[in-house]
Structure 1
């Protein structure tokens, strides 16, 4: 494990709350800087970490892209744009229907290839560095200190706190209670990736009840994820058959965003048996073949995040 290093980074989403805290004097200001602004690197060169239990399969590099369809020896991806409603009730979202030949084609990457807190980069930048053909923003693990984080078969954090999502090497995907297990147990059971944000919004092909009142954590500025919001999520249809969905929002006349229940209904309408909510709002981003697919906040401008979920290409 490398020594911890620090450097300053910024994320616009924290602007108001951080400014208020920085306005106080003494220890409180120093604590806020240390916790929410200064990078704390725990693992460098993260992509070089290897799993002792799951062997990654390299994706073919001979994929071809035609319009919104990508086909290679290891993955088929079709991206569809959907617009519903009209005027201020318009909702615009993007669906990536993904089939992979092997579950290890579904991967994760960190900003700057480093694991730690407050380390951010745009989704497109992380995707480019990882060689991703398709990517969405992840769970923004770097904004919190809890959760179980297994990425590409490697354990990075084991502090169960909420409902998590597990991708298994057999091509299945399940919701689980982080507080009822451990990262080591999950890895032994064949887990390839975990994400820790939530909540789970579809289970057994049905919309999960009570999702309109869930709080993902107790960090300031991130207590509630309710209302009509831009959203990013991942769904599971069948073995090695996934959905990435990005819903734009907060842009009158273009896309108002969706409630958590509406988001879940998008997934069930697409045939998802399981679906999970990821970091949304201004973070909501989908990148395909190096280009931004969606229109974040109606401005076409990405916001830094700590990690992505991607399809290797």
Structure 2
């Protein structure tokens, strides 16, 4: 009986240890932890506090019930003629590529192009805005917190975005500066090189170990992203040919943002991990953007997160957990809003 009792205690201990470990993993990577609601931009769809709460609760139930990536079926647009609400055709200073979409209003002009480089499909949005504040960010369910996620296309729709790309997926980590639309959400250093978009529209790269997020905010930061690495700094490639992000594969779907000057930006998303698109290394991504004339460029979250949405359509071919054509739910987007 004593021997059986010891075995029973050992089995009980093992079950408890497994249960605790499983909960810890779910708590870290799956279970949403809303921390702060976000004041929605005036151009966004109005969402009540109760609606935010309900959406977060729904996300929690969805995550607990299904640990696979949230996905929706999409179709990429292929011709500019499908974009019937384009108001003004605008010229672009970026050479090459095939124009697949355009948009213009009193504050913004966007020309969307597709390139074929490095055996990959690459999508480039050439964006000019009247003020740096027109380049905005949004959080999933308009809520800051860990594991609060939504698809890029849903966030784009909820914020009346003409153009949107995934951001740095801040919610997958517990450190790294988070400044969004001039508001500080997280000041814990991730010991990375962060991208700061300043009030004058210029890019600034900072080491999180050498400055604080509150100092960045005081100096006029509108946005701060913590992912990286820096791809281009003052026109010079900042990564080596063998550099990669953590445990990422050599070539991946990629998302990046670049600055050309005077409120002129590029959003870049490349496909990868499919038979049609090999994907880009960091060095290839930096080289491609340098050839476009980009001065400063920063790598955002890539892989299955890489998604570009233009006027309600998913432009690229997202690849999530090996499944082509499915979006990964992420924490945040970078977007350009439309009038009306």
TM-score normalized with structure 1 length: 0.81
Q: Secondary structure at the match of 1:192?
A: strand
Is the Cα–Cα contact under 8 Å of residues 257 and 299 in structure 2 kept in the other structure? Answer: yes
Per-residue deviation, residues 91-148 of structure 1 (Å, max 9, x unmatched): 1110001111000000110111111011111100001101111000000000001011
**Structure 2 partner of 1:200:** 230
C-alpha distance in 2, partners of 1:64/1:305? 31
8 A Cα contact 1:213 1:226, kept in partner: no
1:55 alignment counterpart: none
Partner of residue 165 from structure 1, selected from 195, 198, 208: 195
Q: In structure 1, the residue corresponding to 2:195 is in which secondary structure?
A: strand
- Are 2:176 and 1:147 equivalent residues in the alignment? yes
2:253 alignment partner in structure 1: 230
**Number of matched pairs:** 268
Q: Which residue of 2 aligns with 1:220?
A: none
Q: Is the 8 A contact 2:123 2:270 kept in 1?
A: yes
Which residue is 2:332 aligned to? 307
Larger Rg: 2
Q: Distance in 2 between matches of 1:195 and 1:99?
A: 20
Does the 8 A contact of 1:226 with 1:260 survive in 2?
Answer: no
Partner of 2:75 in structure 1? none
Matches within 5 A, 1:232-251: 232-251=255-274
Q: Tell which deviates more after alignment, 39-48 or 171-180.
A: 39-48
Could you report, residue by residue, the CA deviation over 1:198-237 in whole angstroms, capped at 9, with x for unpaired residues? 001111101114473354xxxxxxx323511100000111
C-alpha RMSD of matched pairs (Å): 2.1
Runs of 4+ in structure 1 displaced over 3 angstroms? 209-215
- Alignment equivalent of 1:31, drawn from 20, 24, 27: 24
Question: 112, 116, 131: which one pairs with 2:141?
Answer: 112
Against the structure 1 CA distance between its residues 139 and 124, is the aligned structure 2 distance closer, same or farther, given a 3 Å change threshold? same
Unaligned runs of 5+ in 2: 1-14, 43-84, 90-99
Compared with structure 1, are the counterparts of its residues 211 and 145 closer, same or farther at alpha carbon in structure 2 (3 Å cutoff)? farther
Equivalent residue for 2:47?
none
Task: Tell me the distance in 2 between the aligned counterparts of 1:279 and 1:112.
Answer: 19
The answer to whether the 8 A contact 2:152-2:165 is kept is yes
Q: C-alpha separation between the residues in 2 aligned to 1:138 and 1:65?
A: 28
Query: Which residue among 36, 55, 78 is the counterpart of 2:111?
Result: 78
Shift of 1:48: 6.3
Deviation at 1:29? 1.2
